[in-house]
Each structure stands twice: as C-alpha cells, then as structure tokens.
Chain A
Amino acid sequence: MITLLIKLASLLAVVLLLTAYLVLIERKLLGRFQLRYGPNRAGFHGLLQSFADGIKLLLKEDIVPAGADRFIFIYAPAIVAIVPLLLLAVIPFGDTSILMGKEIPMVIANLNVGVLYVLALSSLGVYGVILGGWAANSKYSLLGAIRATAQMISYELALGLSLVPVVMLAHSFSMVDIVNAQARYPFILVQPVAFIIFIISAMAEAKRLPFDLPEAENELMAGFHTEYSGMRFALFFLGEYINMIALGALVAVFFLGGWRGPLLPPVIWLLLKILLVPFLLIWTRATLPRLRYDQLMHFGWKFLVPVALLNIVFSGGIILWMGS
C-alpha cells in the first residue's frame, strides 16, 4: 500500500513537473525553429517561465459565460486533464525490483488488458473536449467540439488498429509483457508501418498541428476552449501537454522497448524515449501547415485505416509463417 502511494506520488510529481517544463521546452524549441529565442526573461534562460504562467493563470478571473451549462462547463476540463494522467498508470518504468525481500513491480497497475485500457481512456478524452465545447454555448466552441469529435473518432480507429500487430508480437495485452517481449529488439524494427501510423494518429489525438482543427486559432479563436479562462483553461492546456507525455510513453512502450536500454538507468531511458515524441510533435508544429477538414477525414478513413488493416494482415501472415 505504502509503496503504491510512493509510486503514485513520484509519478504525479515527475509528470506534472515534466508537463510544466514541456511547455517551456516547446516554446523554446519553437522559437529556435523560427530563429527566435523563445521566453528567456523569467529566471535564468526563462526557467521560471512556467511558474510565472501558472501563477498568472491561477490569479485570472474564472468566467462562466452567460447561457453556459454551468455543471458541465465546470467539470469538462477535469476530464481532459485526468484522462492522460490515468493513462500513465499502466506505463512500466522499470524492471520488477526486490526491496527488503518483497517484489515491487515498477508499474502502478499491471493490468492484463493494458492496451484496451489505454484505448478506452483515449476515447474518454473526447468527452472532455465535446462537453466543454458544448457547454460553453458558443459557436466557436461548438464547431471546435464537433471537429474534435469527428477527428478523434476517425483517428482512434487507426490508433487501435496500429497496435494490433504489437499485441500479436507480444502475445499479450499487458504493457509489462509488451516491454518484456522487446528484450531482444524494439518493435519499431519489425513494425515501422505501425509505428508511423501510431505517430500520425497520436498527433491527431493530441490535437496538434497539422491536425489541430479543434483549436484552429485562425478560424475558431481557440476552438472548444474559446470561452474558458483562468485555471479551467489551464486544465485544458495541462491536459494537452500531459497527453503529449502520455503518448510519448505509449510510443516508448509499444515501439521503442519501454525502459530497456544499455548503460543508463531504466527511468532515464524511459524519459528520453518519452521526450522523443513531444520533440517530434513540436518539430512537426514548426514544419507543417494545418490540414483542411476534408483532407483530414480523407487521410484518416481512406488511407490510415486501410494501411493499418493491411499491416495487420501482413504481420499476421508473417508471424504465422515464422511460427510454424
């Protein structure tokens, strides 16, 4: 019980700190991509920027627009922030270690249906977005919420299908078993197509460029969170960045071998692998323009899903052929 609490507390602390600094990392990196410096005034090289922003958001007035559905409006941001946090519960961050004669699994919950849990949670995240957009009683929010729903449903499918070959290779839905199955080589080497599909779907899941249609600053102000201010907006913001970390963790577990790696301790390896995906997302944000709505749906349903299905068929065939 105590070990579980310690694990929970340390995971929460690390993830929230990482999130705070991910915002800074993103702004810094994006600045450098655009030949700027990014924030460098608050503290040494802007290291206190995240805290300054946090204090600012805390002190902002919390506005609930007239005509909004108060109850849903108030609780929708919580869903967005909680879902990716719950998702991190099944990420293994080390091998089972023995402390004082007791076996301590370095994972908060070793679910035997970890992959399904992950997929179910990422579907739940849509609720926060659509409820927030709906409850605000604003055209921009509603349009953003509709876009978000359509987009996330189309990419959910590709996301799930791209994980099927991974499960077939690992013979298990458990995240711990999937990492253990990658003891010899990471799955990215045998499943590059699934990896690419997963990354693209992850970009759409994270609502980031080129798939940031739900937020689309230049068309929809801020999309589904147009009417939010203060700490509720901060929760949406936090959720988006925790989601980036969670997706990074998923990529690390499914394709990059999780905490496995030479020389460095497992947690460091996991962190490095996790940060790879946010870097990719930031790099993409600096590179690609936003897709049009129909292009996005077309790409999701008519390209990613068929390719993912074909990938399953081929991988299944090869696994059968190798196994026999």
Chain B
Amino acid sequence: MDGVLIMQGKSPSSGWQLFGAIKGLASSYWITLLHLFRKPITEQYPEFKRTLPARTRGKIILTRSPDGKERCVACYLCSGVCPVSCISMAAAESEDGRRYASWFRINFARCIFCGLCEEACPTLALQLTPEFEFCGTDILHFVYEKEDLLVAHGGKNSDYDFYKHCGIGANSEKGRRDNEKEPVNIRSNMP
C-alpha cells in the first residue's frame, strides 16, 4: 500500500504508516516464532561427520605409483610454491637415474592448507586429503617426516605413473613409454 502511494507521488497518511509499521512488526515476530519450532539445521560435529568431498584440502600425503614406488622426484616445486615455506627436502638419485627425496619434511604447524603444492606437483606425488582431525598440543608433533607422509596407495589418481610417461633419464628406451609411438625413421619417412 505504501509503495503504491509513493509511486503515485503521494505520501501515505500517518494512519497507513502506523498500520504498515504494526503489520511489518507483527509479521517479523511471527516468522521468528515459527523458526523457534523448527528443527535446527546444525550438524553436531563430533557425533555427526559429513563425508567431505575428495578434493577437500586437509592433511598432505605422499603417494606411490601403481608399481609401489615413490612418485616424488624431489623437484622442489612444492617447496618453492609454498607461501609459508613449510615444505623442505633434499634430492637424491638412485642407480637407475631415478630421482627421489632422501628426506622430505612438512611442518604442519605452519601449513595453511592452500593446496598450491598439490597443484605444483608434476608427478601427482603430493596430494591433499580430506582428513583434518590431527590437532595436538605439542608443536613438534606437527613436523611430519617422509615416513609419516608416505602412503601405500596412489591417492586420487592411482593409475598414473610418471616414469611410465617420461622414462628414467635421457638414456631410456624410446617408444616403450605410455602413450608414446615408436620413433620415426627420418630417412625412410619421405613424402
């Protein structure tokens, strides 16, 4: 009613204003009273745990490729991208030329769970999991070493194997990797 009168360029009479005000008050009181008798929508956390999406950014793990070897190639990209510098490692090389981290450390007391390390990781080794319940009172317990971080599975993409795509070192067999064709003989490959 008020709106119509204002649109017509007239101001509503004070009687109408008072009526509108009382009506507005009464309806808002009624709405809140109805809410009093509705079931709360709260999920009571320790008793009720909702299943979190697979991509929830929680505790960080180091995964393994399908053949059970460590995926991490110690490229330092995760520690480089980490905004709080909570990842540190030292690179090493095995006899077959495969790189790995001789030690790998994440300080979860500093980690902000931004997930940039996971995005930076070229081999899908470092992944964030939905697990987040690992609080504690001793700050040193939050320094996780490689043994604490390594898991026995492949995480979100268990089929992927980095070394099957790129081979180990420059001397590996050409044409034997995943999704790779045999090399073309440039002398016979005439138009």
Give A residues with C-beta under 8 Å from B.
Answer: 29, 31-37, 40, 283-284, 286-288
B32 to A286, Cβ gap below 8 A? yes
B11 at the interface (CB under 8 A from A): no
B36 at the interface (CB under 8 A from A): yes
Q: List 22 A-B contacts (CB under 8 A).
A: A32-B35, A32-B36, A32-B40, A33-B32, A33-B35, A33-B36, A34-B35, A35-B35, A35-B39, A35-B42, A36-B41, A36-B42, A37-B40, A37-B42, A37-B44, A40-B44, A283-B29, A283-B33, A287-B29, A287-B32, A288-B25, A288-B28
Q: What is the size, in residues, of chain B's interface with A at 8 Å between Cβ atoms?
A: 14
Chain A nearest Cβ from B41, distance in angstroms: 5
* Interchain CA distance A137-B28 in the complex, whole Å: 39
B38 at the interface (CB under 8 A from A): yes
Q: Residue on B with the closest CB to A286? A: B32
Interface of B is mostly: helix
Interface of A is mostly: helix
Q: Inside 8 A of B42's CB, which chain A residues have their CB?
A: 35-37
Having A31-B40, A33-B36, one finds 4 other A-B pairs with CB under 8 Å, namely A32-B36, A35-B35, A284-B29, A287-B32
Chain A nearest Cβ from B116, distance in angstroms: 34
* Interchain CA distance A284-B32 in the complex, whole Å: 9
Chain B nearest Cβ from A38, distance in angstroms: 9
Q: Residue on A with the closest CB to B29? A: A287
Q: Inside 8 A of A37's CB, which chain B residues have their CB?
A: 40, 42, 44
Chain B, range 14-43, C-beta contacts under 8 Å to A: 25, 28-29, 31-33, 35-36, 38-42
Chain A nearest Cβ from B36, distance in angstroms: 5
* Interchain CA distance A40-B42 in the complex, whole Å: 12
Q: Inside 8 A of A35's CB, which chain B residues have their CB?
A: 35, 38-42
Q: Residue on A with the closest CB to B46? A: A41
B41 to A287, Cβ gap below 8 A? no
* Interchain CA distance A156-B91 in the complex, whole Å: 77
Q: Residue on B with the closest CB to A34? A: B35
A287 to B36, Cβ gap below 8 A? no
* Interchain CA distance A35-B36 in the complex, whole Å: 7
Q: Residue on B with the closest CB to A285? A: B32
Q: Inside 8 A of A284's CB, which chain B residues have their CB?
A: 29
* Interchain CA distance A32-B42 in the complex, whole Å: 10
Chain B, range 161-180, C-beta contacts under 8 Å to A: none
Q: Inside 8 A of A287's CB, which chain B residues have their CB?
A: 28-29, 31-32
* Interchain CA distance A255-B74 in the complex, whole Å: 80
The interface centre, meaning the residue of B31, B33, B36, B40 with most chain A CB atoms within 10 A of its CB, is B36
A283 to B32, Cβ gap below 8 A? yes
Q: Inside 8 A of B28's CB, which chain A residues have their CB?
A: 287-288
Chain A nearest Cβ from B15, distance in angstroms: 15
Chain A nearest Cβ from B22, distance in angstroms: 11
